[in-house]
Amino acid sequence: MEALLSQLPIGLSIAAVLMLVALGLTFTFGQMGVINMAHGEFMMAGAYTAYVLQDWTGREAVLAALPVAFAVAGAMGLVLERAAVRRFYGRPLDTLLLTWGVSLVLQQLARDIFGAPNVQVRAPGWLDGGVRMFGSQLPYTRLFIIVLAAVSALAIWAYQNRTRQGRRMRSVMQNRQLAACSGIDTGRVDQLTFFIGSGLAGVAGVALTLIGPIGPNLGTYYIVDAFLVVVAGGLGRLRGAVIAALALGLLDSYAEFWTDASLAKVIGFAAIVVFLQARPQGLFVLRSRALT
């Protein structure tokens, strides 16, 4: 029992990372139907933003980079949406090929600017050490990521449910034609949605700098798991993404504890496949009235 409890903080920290990565995909993939393979590279852009800022802010680069990375990654997503993605709405496979090509270009651009070797971003001094939970040491860096993921999820929920623009976003994603007939500027809503989704990827990239070194391939390590979280939770369903991230993070932690890292990934992927066989639409499904 002590061994099982000791894995709980580790599983929660893994879940928090997956949640942060998946939050942006909840907008661009879950709500807009765009398979954005460049989402991982927006995370990379956020991580390198923290790396660049540490020359001016020192060890406080992580905090300073959170809003800057959101703006940088959001702007990159906005340019991508305006330049190319808007021509492919309703064609998810085409968006997959398009954004995959963009991701390769961004990876090479990062190599040309920062070099191929990984680089390190120093964590703030007040994140040194950790807290002991259930017989396991939980670093303050991981605890910070857990808090950041929780705050981000609450902020997104409040935006979607308590603001006028958030309600407009939900209406466009649920029924674009009816929203347009109601006078909503769907093009502007699309821009804002892609900006927020991409900006959240930048925030996730900053958080990942607290875990280890960063490099041009940073996004490829998390993008598949993030898509699995969004699909398993239900497309566009925020609470589904949160629950799916918790489940996958805990499963990965305990599977790695009993086996090894590679086999743990296989077990997690197999569990998602089996789950989707039983519930192909995910944990939560958008309920609507339709003619039968």
Q: Which has the higher per-residue pLDDT, 171 or 204? A: 204
Question: Quick one: average pLDDT of 202-218?
Answer: 90
Q: How many DSSP H helices and E strands does the chain contain?
A: 11, 2
Question: Quick one: average pLDDT of 124-139?
Answer: 80
pLDDT of 96 above 80: yes
Distance CA 224, CA 156 (A): 22
Distance CA 165, CA 273 (A): 35
Angle between helices 2-25 and 39-57 (to 10 degrees): 100
Task: Provide the pLDDT for residue 177.
Answer: 81
pLDDT of 119 above 80: yes
Task: Provide the pLDDT for residue 291.
Answer: 41
Task: Provide the pLDDT for residue 290.
Answer: 47
Task: Provide the pLDDT for residue 135.
Answer: 67
Percent residues over pLDDT 70 in the chain: 94
pLDDT of 256 above 90: no
**pLDDT tier at 263, thresholds 50, 70, 90:** confident
Contacts of 104 (CB under 8 A, 6+ apart): none
For residue range 150-183, list pLDDT tens digits in order. 999 899 889 888 888 888 888 887 777 888 888 8
Beta bridge pairs of residue 214: 119
Which of 100-104, 230-234, 285-289 is the least confident region?
Answer: 285-289
Task: Provide the pLDDT for residue 59.
Answer: 81
- N-to-C CA span, the chain: 52
**pLDDT tier at 282, thresholds 50, 70, 90:** confident
Question: Quick one: average pLDDT of 121-144?
Answer: 82
The rounded mean pLDDT for the chain is 85
16 sits in the region (left: phi over 0; alpha: psi -120 to 50; else beta) called alpha
In the chain, what are the domain boundaries? 2-219
Strands 130-133 and 136-139 come out as antiparallel
